[in-house]
Structure 1
């Protein structure tokens, strides 16, 4: 009997766990490499920060997770699970529809134990190089005690996420600006910003959460966004949060000037400006590249055509369309209509700046909708 194909999965977060389960279902020999001592990837809270708070120093000590202490999911738990393994309420757990990060980590540990994935994971094993040699892949890894190993695999799946390498804007004058700068990757708690004037650059989920978290202790919070229709204004229900257009420039007297003509003397600039894709361990001889923060060429954001199916990436896109495409290829039904509607409604509320959007849902209506959808599916 021939030996099963040997597959290396890099990362034991959500993508890595889901990938390992599916590969194991195909009776493949799976090894999951995980740099830390725990599974969960970005969903494990770590109070430590990078040695460089902005994240621009390539030689900095890096902390993988970007979780802050107050983080809750920005999607309902009904969308956070797997189609065949939902994210349940649990006795003594966080019952909220948008639970805290601790509840997500509990769910991922439960998922790993349910499907026997923990035994596939090599904890404390960092992948330092992946290279194609002949018809195989050579994977080099390093343990905490600096011992190295070199192994052969037939396929590699990259599941390392993209919330570790900060992406920074170019701001005229920033080299001489005297205040404190930090990227959201290194934010954990609001206390260090007590009594300070903070400028938050960005308008996505992290900027939404962090600006409000900091506002509890800061003197002032000013949010800078690229949105064209933004006017200088104080946000409703907040006495110390203002909204502006993007930062135009900064100066050595601590001033931050905005494109709308307003300005403020600030103590802190907070970059909520996203992340860069970063695969320093991967050597493909130029076949897979990162240009303008896009990984390619990848078919459906998964397979590089020249190396498929022996190299793949899981977790790059954040689009419902690709879930439907993969489902169709697997002979499964597309995403249920209620899930898609809930997803779109969640982000409509986020970008509508509704402070309590996580706790203002009609659960009775939601439960009835899900029940009706399940009944219809059973009939079909």
Structure 2
């Protein structure tokens, strides 16, 4: 190798020094994604305003005992309840795995705190409140402020919002139009229900509801319930209801003949293949040929991505629950870096991923991290879609990252120049999944990964507020 080639090689290996720019950025939503986005944007030197239509930070982790007037959540005129939490919900991941990487989710003493390794939902809410307070994010949050419209005009983003002048519901509304360099969408995706399509359901005389409006099992006492779905919430809710219901019949897409029928350990839970149809005489027939006469059909069938305030002139669309086109699930190539989305992927450990995505967005907006050209980003998106199609993956699973979340996180970490996911976190996530599969009733209270807990606790003291 000659001296010129050697010098060029060394030059190529040196980090590129890019002057940083401070941007004026709007963050939509003060849930977990919005809070960590605000922190990372501020760390990078940006000016931040967080819009939150509720009275607290925490997003979907704020428990609301009220349900919507339309139990299916389809009526556009309904008063929307943002949270989908049910009263008995405990995390299905251990706290060591769940927390932001540099703000460990450790047990704390105090009134109302839940020290369990798999705590109830209120403990997660309190953790997010602690995070917002310790990183001084609350002063940047505009509470009780609904975002009505987000759109671009003359190269800038205009955020139109409406805020109540006081706590009283009768207080006058104040409308505002404000200009930003960039907008980060963090409004979550657990509010707009997806409903299963059931042939004949319009003539079926029983009651239907979506799990978004499920809170406690009492209304199902002595009833026969058909529950659609096998997600974590569906599994939890079916057991919760079975404590008081006469019968619970679970309909799922993926099933084997060996698992059909009454479930071991339960006297009143049955597993079925998907519903074939519903009839005017009140019966619901399953594809396996069995039928029941239920009082309620409960849809535990997930949610739609929904951005009613966002106007991109169809540059970004939601098609069968695919938000796109998005480069790496975050940036629309034609609007990057001025519009971004945090928190779209699902079947993941959410908070650490939000943190990686937020670091990336903040660094790109400042100019410290450089994105590919729009054409190159669009080619990457199209290649990704082609791979999904070739694998037979439906559009609605575009943001399902169950098989590659750590690969994705580590890619983001490398882009941001920070350390990749800890090995104990990956192993603990996998161990929890195996334990949940083997012991669905007790995995939250009995575990066999004490060595990984020790590794996590050795790591945690190195983190300090900064």
Bin the TM-score by the shorter chain: over 0.9
User: Quick one: structure 1 residues 353 and 172, their matched pair in 2 at CA, closer, same or farther if it must change by over 3 Å?
Assistant: farther
**Aligned match of 2:322 in 279, 282, 294?**
294
Q: How many aligned positions are there?
A: 374
Cα offset, 1:355, TM superposition: 1.5
Cα offset, 1:47, TM superposition: 0.7
The question of 1:203 aligning with 2:224 is answered no
User: Quick one: structure 1 residues 340 and 200, their matched pair in 2 at CA, closer, same or farther if it must change by over 3 Å?
Assistant: same
The question of 1:29 aligning with 2:47 is answered yes
Greater shift, 317-326 or 96-105, is seen at 317-326
The question of 1:80 aligning with 2:98 is answered yes
Deviation string, structure 1 residues 7-33 (Cα, Å, up to 9, x no partner): 000000000000000001112110000
The question of 1:269 aligning with 2:297 is answered yes
Give the greater-gyration-radius structure (CA): 2
Cα offset, 1:343, TM superposition: 1.6
**Aligned match of 2:286 in 258, 262, 272?**
258
**Aligned match of 2:151 in 95, 110, 131?**
131
Cα offset, 1:347, TM superposition: 3.1
Per the alignment, residue 327 of structure 1 pairs with: 413
Per the alignment, residue 59 of structure 2 pairs with: 41
Question: Would you say the 8 A contact 1:205–1:350 is kept in 2?
Answer: no
Q: Aligned partners of 2:295, 2:163: CA distance in 1, in Å?
A: 40
Q: Aligned partners of 1:284, 1:180: CA distance in 2, in Å?
A: 38
Per the alignment, residue 367 of structure 2 pairs with: none
Question: Would you say the 8 A contact 2:88–2:120 is kept in 1?
Answer: yes
Secondary structure at 1:147's aligned position in 2?
A: strand
The question of 1:357 aligning with 2:357 is answered no
Per the alignment, residue 155 of structure 1 pairs with: 182
Greater shift, 228-237 or 309-318, is seen at 228-237
Q: Aligned partners of 2:414, 2:92: CA distance in 1, in Å?
A: 27
Q: Aligned partners of 2:458, 2:309: CA distance in 1, in Å?
A: 48
Secondary structure at 2:35's aligned position in 1?
A: helix
Structure with greater helix share of residues = 2
Q: Aligned partners of 1:243, 1:177: CA distance in 2, in Å?
A: 21
User: Quick one: structure 1 residues 372 and 100, their matched pair in 2 at CA, closer, same or farther if it must change by over 3 Å?
Assistant: closer
Cα offset, 1:322, TM superposition: 2.5
Q: Aligned partners of 2:283, 2:435: CA distance in 1, in Å?
A: 33
Deviation string, structure 1 residues 216-267 (Cα, Å, up to 9, x no partner): 1100101100014254221122111111111110111211111111111100
Q: Aligned partners of 1:363, 1:349: CA distance in 2, in Å?
A: 10
Deviation string, structure 1 residues 95-152 (Cα, Å, up to 9, x no partner): 2111001100110000001100000000000101000111100000012343211000
Secondary structure at 1:300's aligned position in 2?
A: coil
The question of 1:226 aligning with 2:253 is answered yes
Q: Aligned partners of 1:368, 1:260: CA distance in 2, in Å?
A: 47
Cα offset, 1:368, TM superposition: 3.3
Cα offset, 1:280, TM superposition: 0.6
User: Quick one: structure 1 residues 351 and 276, their matched pair in 2 at CA, closer, same or farther if it must change by over 3 Å?
Assistant: farther
Greater shift, 339-348 or 138-147, is seen at 339-348
Per the alignment, residue 203 of structure 2 pairs with: 176
Q: Aligned partners of 1:20, 1:373: CA distance in 2, in Å?
A: 25
Q: Aligned partners of 1:343, 1:368: CA distance in 2, in Å?
A: 15
Structure with greater strand share of residues = 1
Q: Aligned partners of 2:207, 2:432: CA distance in 1, in Å?
A: 33
Per the alignment, residue 64 of structure 1 pairs with: 82
Secondary structure at 1:85's aligned position in 2?
A: coil
Greater shift, 109-118 or 328-337, is seen at 328-337
Deviation string, structure 1 residues 43-81 (Cα, Å, up to 9, x no partner): 000011111100111221110000011111111101111
- Residue pairs, 1:15-26, within 5 angstroms: 15-26=33-44
Per the alignment, residue 160 of structure 2 pairs with: 140
Stretches of structure 1 that go unaligned for 5 or more consecutive residues are: 376-380
Secondary structure at 1:200's aligned position in 2?
A: strand
Q: Aligned partners of 1:72, 1:228: CA distance in 2, in Å?
A: 26
Cα offset, 1:153, TM superposition: 0.5
TM-score, normalization: structure 2? 0.78
Q: Aligned partners of 1:198, 1:84: CA distance in 2, in Å?
A: 44
Per the alignment, residue 237 of structure 1 pairs with: 265
Per the alignment, residue 367 of structure 1 pairs with: 453
Secondary structure at 1:366's aligned position in 2?
A: helix
User: Quick one: structure 1 residues 142 and 213, their matched pair in 2 at CA, closer, same or farther if it must change by over 3 Å?
Assistant: same
TM-score, normalization: structure 1? 0.95
Per the alignment, residue 378 of structure 1 pairs with: none
Name the Cα RMSD after superposition: 1.8
